[in-house]
Amino acid sequence: FEVTQSTLNRRGIDPSCPGASRYEDYTSYEFNWTLESYKGELQAYAWVSGADYGGGERWGYIYDGGLEWGYGNRNFSIWGKVDGSEDLRELLVAVATSMDPAFDVDDLNEDGYPRPLPVDPDAGGTTGDSGSSSGVGAAQSSAP
């Protein structure tokens, strides 16, 4: 695979703003890469912030075509499509390891993202169109 496109975005407060030095820890960086080969394409993303958002509890998911993980002030994701799907997982893990030396595929949830629970009509509410003219449906409560 060859990196055919990459971007780096820095987000933060302009240092010339009064009081900006108090917010230096909130500067964040987004990295995006496109990797291509004769077998297909991968997209990789990393986000790192100077602020620590809740320690180092690790989380992650692996699903058909991609994986996502993070901890503390870091989030990562890789997804793609290649000829020979049996090779995709191996490629994703290799790229993930190069992006984050602390990456461990055994930390990932194999079931993918948690799905939201369906609405329980017995819990005192229903869903449906509110009849609004905007065309946007809204939840309605059957509670008195």
Would you kindly state where each structural domain of the chain is located, as residue ranges? 2-107
Structure confidence at residue 66 (pLDDT): 92
User: Tokens 């993918």, residue?
Assistant: 112
120 pLDDT band, cuts 50/70/90, is: low
Q: Which two tokens stand for residue 37?
A: 């080969």
What letter would DSSP give residue 83?
S
- DSSP letter for 72, please: T
Q: Which two tokens stand for residue 80?
A: 């793609």
Give CA separation, 103 vs 30, 74, 75, 87, 89, in Å.
18, 11, 11, 19, 14
User: What are the tens digits of pLDDT across the range 61-105?
Assistant: 988 889 999 888 889 999 998 886 667 888 899 999 999 988 988
What's the whole-model pTM score?
0.66
